[in-house]
C-alpha cells in the first residue's frame, strides 16, 4: 500500500486553472473522497495522480518518491471510471484478465487471480458473458474486479456508482466500503454526492473552483465547517443562512436581522467581541431549529414537506424562508408557531469572505 502526498499541485488548461495549488496528504490504507460540484477539478486531480495528466506545477509523492515523471503503468494504480470502460468484444473473464496479460503474467497465474477476484466480488457465474449481457451493477463489479486483479497499491475511482439506480447505489456503497477496509488499499474516490462522500470516506477533501476548501472527517466538515461553501455543501436540506449583524446590548452580544434577534451564548460571544457591528451570516442546520417551543420568535408555516420519518417545515420569518426538520408533530400551512435555535449548534460567518468566525 502507499501514502500519497500532493504538494502545491496545479493544473492549467490554457487560461482555466482546473486545480489550484492543492495540498493533501493521504495516509497508507486511507479512504479519501474528493468532493465538490461539477467542474471543481476532481477528475483532473485523479488523472494527475494516475499519471495520465502532467501537472503544470507542484509535486505528487507516492510514499517518499516524487512520481511526476513516472509513466502510468509503473504507478501500480487501479482505476475505475464512471463509464466502467469495459471492452465490449471480450468476455468478463478476458476483461478482468486484460491488465495481467499486458503484464505478461503466466497463464495459470492469470486464471487463478481472475477466479479469486471474481469470487470476492461475487461475479464468478458471469465470467463467460460479455459486458452487453450484464446489468449496471454487474458491470460495475467487473470494472472493480479488473482494477483489483492487478493488485494495485492505490485505487482511484471516478464516480463509479453514478450509473446505478438509487437502490443499487446504496448497496454498492456499503460493499465498496467493506471491500476497501478488508483489502486496506489506499483509495481516492471522486464524487459530487455529499452523501456518498460522508458515508464512505475516512476523510473528505472538499474542492471548489480548483481550490481545497477543507479536509477532514465527515464529522469535521458537518459540525465544524471552515466556511460557508463547506457549510452549504454538506448536509441535506442544507444549512439555513441568515444575513445580519452583531450588536452589543446590555453587555450581551446579539445577532440581529430585521425583526429577528438572537442572543448569543457567552462562549460564542467572547470570540465575536472584535466583530461587533460587522456584517455576518448566521448559519443554522434544519435539525437545530426547534419548532413549537414556549419561548422564541414567531414564524408562519409556509410549506410542509413530509419525508416519512421526519418533516421539513418551511418557516416564514420576516421576509425570510428557513427550513426546519421536525419529527412527530404535524403542522399546517399558515400555522403560527414559536421557533428558536439550538444555540450550541449555530455558526457565524463573515459576510465579507464567508469564513467561519466561530
Ligand X SMILES: Nc1ncnc2c1ncn2[C@@H]1O[C@H](COP(=O)(O)OP(=O)(O)OP(=O)(O)O)[C@@H](O)[C@H]1O
Sites of contact with Mg ion (CB under 5 A) = 43
Span near ligand X by CB under 6 A; candidates 37-45, 70-78, 89-97, 239-247: 37-45
Please say which residue, 41 or 51, places its beta carbon nearer to ligand X: 41
Using CB under 6 A as the binding rule, the residues of this chain from 177 to 216 that contact ligand X are: 192
Sole residue written with cell 487501479 = 78
Cβ-closest position to Mg ion: 43
Residue numbers 2-21 binding ligand X by CB under 6 A: 13, 16, 18
Using CB under 6 A as the binding rule, whether residue 333 contacts ligand X is answered as: no
C-beta separation of 73 from 229 below 8 A: no
Which does residue 44 bind out of Mg ion, ligand X, none, counting CB within 5 to 8 angstroms by kind?
Answer: ligand X
State the minimum distance, in angstroms, from the CB of residue 159 to ligand X: 7
Contact partner at residue 160 from ligand X, Mg ion, none, CB < 5 to 8 Å by partner kind:
none
Q: Which does 188 bind (CB under 5 to 8 A by kind): Mg ion, ligand X, none?
A: none
The 10 Å Cβ neighbour count of residue 311 is 18
Name the residue nearer to ligand X (CB basis): 5 or 192: 192
Cα distance from N-terminal residue to C-terminal residue, the chain = 38
Q: Are 40 and 11 in contact (CB under 8 A)?
A: no
Minimal distance, residue 222 CB to Mg ion, in Å: 24
Half-sphere exposure of 66 (CA within 13 A, CB side): 10
Query: How do strand 252-257 and strand 211-216 relate by DSSP bridges?
Result: unpaired
Q: Least Å distance between CB 19 and ligand X? A: 7
- The number of helices, as runs of H, and strands, as runs of E, in the chain is 9, 20
Q: Is the Cβ of residue 41 or residue 235 nearer to ligand X in the bound state?
A: 41
CA–CA separation, 332 and 327 (whole Å):
14
Residues 38 to 77 in contact with ligand X, rule: CB under 6 A: 38-44
| Alpha-carbon gap, residue 51 to 185, rounded angstroms | 18
Rounded to whole angstroms, the Cα distance separating 93 from 126 reads: 8
Q: How far is the CB of 78 from ligand X (least distance, A)?
A: 19
Task: Please state, in angstroms and rounded to a whole number, the distance separating the CA atoms of residues 345 and 352.
Answer: 22
16 is in the binding site of which of Mg ion, ligand X, none (Cβ under 5 to 8 A by kind)?
Answer: ligand X
Residue 118 zone, left/alpha/beta (φ > 0; ψ -120 to 50; rest): alpha
Three cell numbers written together for 189: 474516490
Residue 120 cell numbers, joined: 470476492
Find the shortest distance in angstroms from Cβ 211 to ligand X.
12
Nearer to Mg ion, 191 or 311 (CB): 191
Contacts with ligand X by CB under 6 A lie at: 13, 16, 18, 36, 38-44, 192
Amino acid at each position: 500500500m502507499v501514502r500519497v502526498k500532493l504538494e502545491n499541485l496545479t493544473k492549467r488548461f490554457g487560461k482555466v486553472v482546473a486545480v489550484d495549488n492543492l495540498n493533501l496528504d493521504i495516509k497508507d490504507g486511507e479512504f479519501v473522497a474528493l468532493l465538490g460540484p461539477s467542474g471543481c477539478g476532481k477528475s483532473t486531480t485523479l488523472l494527475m495522480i494516475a499519471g495520465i495528466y502532467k501537472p503544470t506545477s507542484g509535486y505528487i509523492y507516492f510514499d517518499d518518491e516524487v512520481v511526476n515523471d513516472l509513466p502510468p503503468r509503473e504507478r501500480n494504480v487501479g482505476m475505475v471510471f464512471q463509464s466502467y470502460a469495459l471492452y465490449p468484444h471480450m468476455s468478463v473473464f478476458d476483461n478482468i484478465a486484460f491488465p495481467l496479460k499486458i503484464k505478461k503474467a503466466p497463464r495459470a497465474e492469470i486464471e487463478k487471480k481472475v477466479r479469486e477476484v471474481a469470487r470476492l466480488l461475487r461475479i464468478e457465474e458471469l465470467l463467460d458473458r460479455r459486458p452487453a449481457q450484464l446489468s449496471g451493477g454487474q458491470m460495475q463489479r467487473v470494472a472493480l474486479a479488473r482494477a483489483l486483479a492487478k493488485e494495485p497499491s492505490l485505487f482511484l475511482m471516478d464516480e463509479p456508482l453514478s450509473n446505478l439506480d438509487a437502490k443499487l447505489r446504496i448497496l454498492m456503497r456499503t460493499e465498496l466500503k467493506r471491500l476497501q477496509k478488508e483489502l486496506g488499499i489506499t483509495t481516492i474516490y471522486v464524487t459530487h454526492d455529499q452523501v456518498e462522500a460522508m458515508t464512505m470516506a475516512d476523510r473528505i477533501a472538499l474542492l471548489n473552483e480548483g481550490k481545497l476548501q477543507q479536509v477532514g472527517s465527515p464529522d469535521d466538515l458537518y459540525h465544524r465547517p471552515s466556511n460557508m461553501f463547506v457549510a452549504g455543501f454538506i448536509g441535506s436540506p442544507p444549512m439555513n443562512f441568515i444575513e445580519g449583524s452583531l450588536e452589543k446590548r446590555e453587555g450581551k452580544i446579539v445577532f440581529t436581522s430585521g425583526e429577528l434577534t438572537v442572543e448569543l451564548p457567552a462562549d460564542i460571544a467572547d470570540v465575536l467581541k472584535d466583530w461587533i457591528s460587522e456584517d455576518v451570516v448566521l448559519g443554522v442546520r434544519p435539525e437545530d431549529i426547534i419548532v413549537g417551543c414556549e419561548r422564541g420568535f414567531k414564524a408562519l408555516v409556509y410549506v410542509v414537506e413530509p419525508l416519512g420519518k421526519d418533516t421539513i417545515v418551511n418557516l416564514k420569518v420576516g421576509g425570510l424562508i428557513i427550513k426546519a426538520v421536525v419529527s412527530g408533530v404535524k403542522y399546517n400551512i399558515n400555522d403560527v408557531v414559536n421557533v428558536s435555535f439550538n444555540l450550541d449548534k449555530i455558526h457565524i460567518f463573515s459576510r465579507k469572505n464567508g469564513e467561519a468566525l466561530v
